[in-house]
Amino acid sequence: METVVTGKGTEVKFGPDLPTVIIAERINPTGRKSLAEELKQGKFDIAREDAIKQTEAGAHIIDINVGAVGVDEVEMLPKAVKIVMEVTNQPLCLDSANPEALKSALEVYPYKALINSVNGKEKSLEEVLPMVKKSGSAVICLTMDEDGIPDNVEKRFEIAEKIIKRAESIGIKKEDLVFDCLVMPNSIDSNAGRITLETQRRVAKEFGVSITGGYSNVSFGMPDRNLLNIHFITMGIISGLCAPITDPLIDNLAEAIKAADFLAGRDPYGMNYISFYRK
């Protein structure tokens, strides 16, 4: 099983038996006042610079989220997509809770995108899945529904099953569904990380699908967030994680991922690990 997304002349593959790929999270105004301010003024200098820096740091896929108070995502998401395509050939992950914004961004993206996201809510399934099918994109599936984010593995698993059934019923292939078992701040509930990882293992084992997640969420409210983020990603990698949404600029992250892939049997003979050190 392999999930494939594309950019200009670039193809990125990930899956349960493949090396981990990085979905770069920095183009997101949440918690970044300067970026939020810039987007409000209709400017993209920081976003452009972030796309360049993240690509140079080895990001495989670039997430674009322009959601902030005072920003019209339907107008701004496609504009950001065009700007980012000018400076990187990596595939894009179109990140919005607003289906209309996803639609307008898809209209300007001529390759196979990763849509972020659909969830188990009836409204989301009805609006987003047809868009996925029509555009031939892949999509991130959040294991939450009308009742919010379940606090237990069983319920998250059931939502994953529901999304798979609905997607397959309209002809979307399983390899185009990338499950996000929901990463929550471990500072609020000490079991948050454990629940995410256990859900991932169950979803991966039962359905054989690709797994992603907003891995930086785990460390909100704690000191040395980068340390926690690196460790949670390496723990995720042995629990089905294929493509974390994270900050590729974190020191030592790339090394840690190469090591974890090798130790988890996802880098035969350590070829990637070894060639990384030759560089």
Binding site for ligand THG (CB under 6 A): 25, 28, 30-32, 65, 95, 116-117, 140, 180, 183, 214, 216-217, 245
Question: Which residue's CB is nearer to ligand THG, number 62 or number 267?
Answer: 62
Tokens for 125, please give them: 């399934």
The distance from CA 10 to its chain's CA centroid, rounded to whole angstroms, is 18
Question: Which residue's CB is nearer to ligand THG, number 180 or number 267?
Answer: 180
Question: Which residue's CB is nearer to ligand THG, number 117 or number 273?
Answer: 117
Rounded to whole angstroms, the Cα distance separating 119 from 98 reads: 12
Residue type, 224: D
Question: Which residue's CB is nearer to ligand THG, number 73 or number 95?
Answer: 95
CB of 125 to ligand THG, least distance (A): 16
Rounded to whole angstroms, the Cα distance separating 47 from 52 reads: 9
The distance from CA 206 to its chain's CA centroid, rounded to whole angstroms, is 21
Question: Which residue's CB is nearer to ligand THG, number 25 or number 38?
Answer: 25
CB of 122 to ligand THG, least distance (A): 19
Is the CB of residue 87 less than 8 Å from the CB of residue 45? no
CB of 31 to ligand THG, least distance (A): 2
Question: In 3D, which of 176, 179, 208, 237 has the Cα closest to residue 4?
Answer: 176
Phi, psi for 171 (deg, rounded to 5): 90, 15
CB of 181 to ligand THG, least distance (A): 10
CB of 249 to ligand THG, least distance (A): 8
Question: Which residue's CB is nearer to ligand THG, number 157 or number 273?
Answer: 157
Q: Of all helices (H) and strands (E), which one includes residue 159? A: helix 153-169
Phi, psi for 96 (deg, rounded to 5): -160, 145
CB of 13 to ligand THG, least distance (A): 19
Rounded to whole angstroms, the Cα distance separating 240 from 94 reads: 23
Half-sphere exposure of 196 (CA within 13 A, CB side): 30
